[in-house]
Amino acid sequence: MTHEAPSSLAPYAAHAATSPGRRFVEPPPGSRTEFQRDRDRIIHSTAFRRLEYKTQVFVNHEGDLFRTRLTHSIEVAQIARSSARNLRLNEDLVEAISLAHDLGHTPFGHAGQDALNSCMKDAGGFEHNLQSLRVVDDLEQHYGAFDGLNLMFETREGILKHCSLHNARQLGAIGQRFIDKKQPSLEAQLANLADEIAYNNHDIDDGLRSGLLTIAQLSQVDFFARHQREAEQTYPGISGRRAINETVRRMINALIVDLNTTSQARIAEINPRSIDDIRNAPPLIAFSERMSEEATLLKRFLRENLYRHYQVNRMTSKARRIITELFNAFAREPTLLPPDYQVAAGNAADHQQRQARQIADYIAGMTDRYAMREHRRLFQVEEI
């Protein structure tokens, strides 16, 4: 017998009973909810394990204490799940989306994604959100009855945060909302903003830990300075890592409280009765205008002082070169690829397109260190 979702869920939350369900019909999950089953499948997937060695800003070998895509995904899930409970949304769904949202990311973060997108410009491009969906729909191979993880519609919808209209038209029902300009579930909206809260604040922590950012620089950002003063007033004489952690903790809490309060007010104003009302409404999970401005200023500071720091630029330059050279080598000589990624000869144009996509799948699935190792194997004589 299927374990039903808690009765405390709001009527406009995602309910498995009213879901379009899975692409392939399966027996009920028994002692779990449908969305718990999704979460469990994601955690046990190969792509999820690889997140341990994929990075956000710093490349994996640069230090053991910096965030990886895995730790980031866990932090997003924690923030999103806590807020979901306050908003009476489906915690299991929001956790599944949060844990899966980065499965399609390339090695080397956004630098790797931009390089792979450039390589794929004549073969449909590369979007990491679309790749995450491709991972859970097609690339994972765990079950005899189907490719992928066969996740619930709402989980897949939440994973696909952004999508070009061209690609949306190829996706059927899961891409239709981008064409119709409708909203996803509140759980998907919440996971999206929890992602923003997590990466902004842990990039501050990692930036300070690396020495690329200083407290003096951050003190020029009012949002940071205000919570820094609060920490110092609460704990006179506090310093070092303890002071940084207290400040960042307060920033995260302020963002979450504002998100919950603002979202509750927006939901009450619309007074939705079902998830269909959510899809037809404007975005309801949001920060207040003031907090949104502060978050924007924080992102701008990080972009100018961390993401464009010359030491980060050096690594991203190397990353782009590694991805581009790997792609070009495999495109010239597909026999260099593992057999599973070699496409059998066929129609010339179609064959080239399909082979390019297989190369993108192979590279996107690499961890940072595996990509570097593959590059050495192909381009350094002493490597085998």
pLDDT at 182 over 90: yes
β-partners of residue 148 are 141
pLDDT at 62 over 80: no
pLDDT at 67 over 60: yes
The first and second tokens of residue 169, run together, are: 């038209």
Residues in the chain: 384
Q: What pLDDT is stored for residue 4 in this prediction? A: 46
Mean pLDDT of the 116-135 span? 95
Q: How far apart are CA 205 and CA 199, in angstroms?
A: 10
**C-alpha 9, offset from chain centre:** 25
Instruction: Indicate the range of 50-59, 172-181, 306-315, 351-360 predicted with least confidence.
Output: 50-59
Q: In whole angstroms, how large is the CA radius of gyration of the chain?
A: 22
- Taking CA atoms, 124 is separated from 120, 207, 281, 353, in Å, by 6, 35, 31, 8
Tell me what percent of the residues of the chain surpass a pLDDT of 70: 93
342-381 burial, b at 16+ Cβ within 10 Å, e below that, comes to ebeeeeeeeebbebbbbbbbbbbbbbbebbbebbeeeeee
Confidence band of 65 (pLDDT split at 50, 70, 90): very low
324-339 burial, b at 16+ Cβ within 10 Å, e below that, comes to bebbebbbeebebbee
Q: How far apart are CA 102 and CA 48, in angstroms?
A: 9
Q: What pLDDT is stored for residue 383 in this prediction? A: 57
**C-alpha 23, offset from chain centre:** 22
Confidence band of 136 (pLDDT split at 50, 70, 90): very high
Q: What pLDDT is stored for residue 314 in this prediction? A: 87
Confidence band of 93 (pLDDT split at 50, 70, 90): very high
pLDDT at 132 over 70: yes
7-43 residue pLDDT tens:
689 999 999 999 999 999 999 998 999 999 999 999 9
Q: What pLDDT is stored for residue 58 in this prediction? A: 56
Handedness of CA 294, 297, 299, 301 (dihedral sign): negative
Alpha-helix runs per DSSP H in 271-309: 275-280, 289-302
Q: What pLDDT is stored for residue 344 in this prediction? A: 83
Residue type at 171 in one-letter notation: L
- In three-state form (DSSP H/G/I as H, E/B as E, the rest C), the secondary structure along 156-217 is HHHHCCCCCHHHHCCCHHHHHHHHHCCCCCHHHHHHHHHHHHHHHHHHHHHHHHHCCCCHHH
Q: What pLDDT is stored for residue 311 in this prediction? A: 86
Mean pLDDT of the 286-300 span? 96
Closest CA to 287 of 254, 316, 314: 254
Mean pLDDT of the 96-103 span? 97
CB-CB contact of 205 with 248 (8 Å): yes
Confidence band of 88 (pLDDT split at 50, 70, 90): very high
Q: What pLDDT is stored for residue 153 in this prediction? A: 98
pTM of the predicted model, to two decimals?
A: 0.93
Mean pLDDT of the 36-60 span? 87
Domains of the chain: 20-310 (1.10.3210.10), 313-379 (no CATH)
214-270 residue pLDDT tens:
999 999 999 999 999 999 999 999 999 999 999 999 999 999 999 999 999 999 999
The first and second tokens of residue 350, run together, are: 């179609």
Q: What pLDDT is stored for residue 348 in this prediction? A: 66
CB-CB contact of 114 with 363 (8 Å): no
Q: What pLDDT is stored for residue 274 in this prediction? A: 96
188-200 residue pLDDT tens:
999 999 999 998 8
Q: What pLDDT is stored for residue 2 in this prediction? A: 45
Confidence band of 1 (pLDDT split at 50, 70, 90): very low
Q: To the nearest whole number, what is the mean pLDDT of the chain?
A: 92
299-355 residue pLDDT tens:
999 999 988 888 888 888 999 999 999 999 999 999 999 999 999 876 666 888 999
CB-CB contact of 354 with 138 (8 Å): no
